[in-house]
Structure 1
């Protein structure tokens, strides 16, 4: 499909629509544990990926940083810091980006955290920076210390009735698929253990913590639930693409929601007002903007290709990238891994070992830095598609898996939908179209006044 060509969605029900209809038909949001936990909202994201996408979203926890002595020292220091009082502003960060000084930082919360005095902030860091850390002068606790402590928590006997009902609902709706009770229970018990620890931390700091600011890394329902139980307001920063196919954010608009059946933040700060139109979520959305992503990128005038991989999309993108590398041996290809598939680094490196024009990237370069080097980006679903368009770089979308998450932009200039390497070659060599209409559509500058008003 060429840029600007009209997109006609399939008339058949998608898995997403069936999933949302199932939630309403079987009244799954009404299910409670004996402790009152909303079971379905806790496990639905994992259940969807395990059943529909055939992906275990927990397997991405393997990292090489565990072998690093610095990692262990940070975890030990974190244990000690947990014993001391917290501050009124708790920031849960994911510092996986490089700033202009090659320091690791969180591009989604960076502007906000600098509005507060350091003495009034404490950080839980969910990413292990392998370079200089921008927030080293803040009191920081690494998430691994918290996850380690949860192993010592016990949970009571699980009542199987609700889980049997969920299994029946899923398998009755998706007749050709199965899901195990053990998988569902395992997700729920991890929530219970994590909630129990956060609840203790917050009770020990009762009255001290006023606000939780979070950039989600993984699903943090346990943190949200504990915060709300202890009267802490939750403000989430959008960190990537949010749309109707992202089950952590996408809900059925025909169901009534309240604090007893869903676990969501008080406010979701979005990149712009474009995003709220792409999904339904029972959270209050405020288009607060993001200075780091909004800033235009200066092109380096290279003709490279950046491929944006994730654990869900890697198999399809890897196959096509290999064909591209063979067909266009002089084309520099940057194969950018998402943190959720860093664990595949050696496997992917081996896969492309005979192709010198393919370079595997973890966090050596940010997406913005790679866009500045590239004539086009190739992805299935990624925030980088919008970042490319924001910077007048072509976005080539492979029509696989859940690519229709980008349906709102299929008719935009510089967007190309492809099925194979021949169509890629044609799209890559096509003329770029200057498009001033995307300015401030996907990303806006950070609105300090709106932010301060929202958190009062």
Structure 2
């Protein structure tokens, strides 16, 4: 289902009144449920082809137990520190931001890291060795897994009624949402919430910085319960089109629902501040304009001895990328240039190389330079929908949006700024 349609239906539900039966200890788990429903309904247009790595090998088991020791270390030695929560993929791409720059500002910092691929721990072993790091999602995974299989059958009557009401809301619009999906979302949120509540009550961090707070709503709820200031750092697209920032504030306030959202959000420009304000949930005084750190760290001395377009991957619809290449081949040959495919952190480079092995002028990038550096030295940037489009606007003055159902989220930008967001089917058209 198209993302715009899913967003419209979720908004309709919020306007109708978010059910108080989703409240857990004073905070609604609607943020979590909304995100899970959105992901479920758009599963055919998000992360197709992203490799799902399982945690079943000897290294994973050993790391899990070492992770327990890290938890004990945090509980005993990090009281009053500054807390930072992000994904391992973000650390891989922005080590300076998440280590030296924060440690210059704060004497004591500890990290919760969301690990998607266990093998990437090996590539970032110095980060784990030199910092106070704990993987909360890895630790909680078995507890959430067991709970989602068992506890969904023992929910309170009011909670069951709230879930059925939500299921019926979607069914009235001819959309089927499984009862177990919502029940599992609520149960896993609750398991995480009580763990984080206990942890923060013991450690008492001074403040928290978090990336993609909407995907960590149980963390935010526990921080708020312990009166700890939450500052979100912008990651990717934010604003009206994103389910994590487009809550209907008035409707939610009218029914007395409290969402566990950040106290402040740091964005990279006036543009994103305006986008966030226009979404209608966050006020201007809750938004801070910071530095576009990744753009500021571009390696301008990097040299490539060939001309290229950069295609930033997102882990889906490789067939469409192949079709785009075939239609663009004459242009690439006549202009003596290639396409550098920069994989998304979630994508497996080996799998991407196999997918494009028969396409001579697609080079899958395996080096150390950042996406922003590659973009800076390129002829131009191409993608479906991506925050990289906006970095390209800042650096190149324009960006190319490959036309597909996947890029529909960019339609408003294409319509508003057609000279900057250029919709294409192939190069040279």
* TM-score grouping bracket, smaller chain normalisation: 0.7 to 0.9
Give the distance between the partners of 1:125 and 1:399, measured in 2 at CA. 34
- SS of the residue corresponding to residue 209 of structure 1 reads coil
CA distance, structure 2, for counterparts of residue 232 and residue 373 of structure 1: 42
Does the aligned pair in 1 maintain the 2:270–2:289 contact within 8 Å?
yes
- Find the counterpart in structure 2 of residue 164 from structure 1: 164
Matched, 1:122 2:120: no
Say whether residues 1:333 and 2:339 are aligned partners.
Answer: yes
Match of 1:380 in 2: 384
Matches of residues 28-177 of structure 1 in structure 2 within 5 Å? 28=18, 30-33=20-23, 37-52=27-42, 54=44, 62-63=52-53, 69=59, 73-84=62-73, 85=76, 86-87=78-79, 88-96=81-89, 105-106=94-95, 109=98, 113-118=102-107, 120-127=108-115, 128-129=120-121, 130-131=123-124, 133=126, 136-148=129-141, 150-151=143-144, 154=147, 155=151, 157-158=154-155, 159-173=159-173, 175=174, 177=175
- Structure 2, unaligned stretches of length 5 or more? none
Unpaired stretches in structure 1, ≥5 consecutive residues: 1-12, 427-456
Alignment check: 8 A CA contact 2:49 2:315 kept: no
Q: How many angstroms apart in 2 are the aligned matches of 1:122 and 1:361?
A: 32
- Length, aligned pairs only: 399
- 1:435 counterpart residue number: none
**Are residues 1:278 and 2:275 paired?**
yes
Q: Distance in 2 between matches of 1:58 and 1:31?
A: 34
**C-alpha contact (below 8 Å) 1:317/1:379 kept by paired residues:** no
Please list, as runs of the form range in 1=range in 2, the aligned pairs for 1:19-30 lying within 5 A after superposition. Answer: 19-28=9-18, 30=20
Cα 1:277–1:34 shift into 2, 3 Å: closer
Instruction: Tell whether the 8 Å contact from 1:325 to 1:358 is kept in structure 2 after alignment.
Output: no
Q: How many angstroms does 1:196 deviate by? A: 2.4
Whether contact under 8 Å (1:29, 1:41) holds in the other structure is no
TM-score normalised according to structure 1 size = 0.75
The SS at the match of 2:281 is: coil
Tell me the CA shift for residue 264 of structure 1.
Answer: 0.6
Would you tell me which structure has more helix in proportion to its own residues?
2
Deviation string 1:288-344 (CA, Å, 9 cap, x unpaired) is 22333235553746421221222456554454245435863554222222234x25x
> Which residues of 2 match residues 331-370 of structure 1 at below 5 A?
331-340=337-346, 342=347, 345-361=349-365, 364-370=368-374
CA contact (8 A) 2:4 2:409 kept: no
Q: Distance in 1 between matches of 2:389 and 2:309?
A: 13
Q: CA RMSD in A?
A: 3.6
Secondary structure (helix, strand or coil) at the match of 1:114 reads: helix
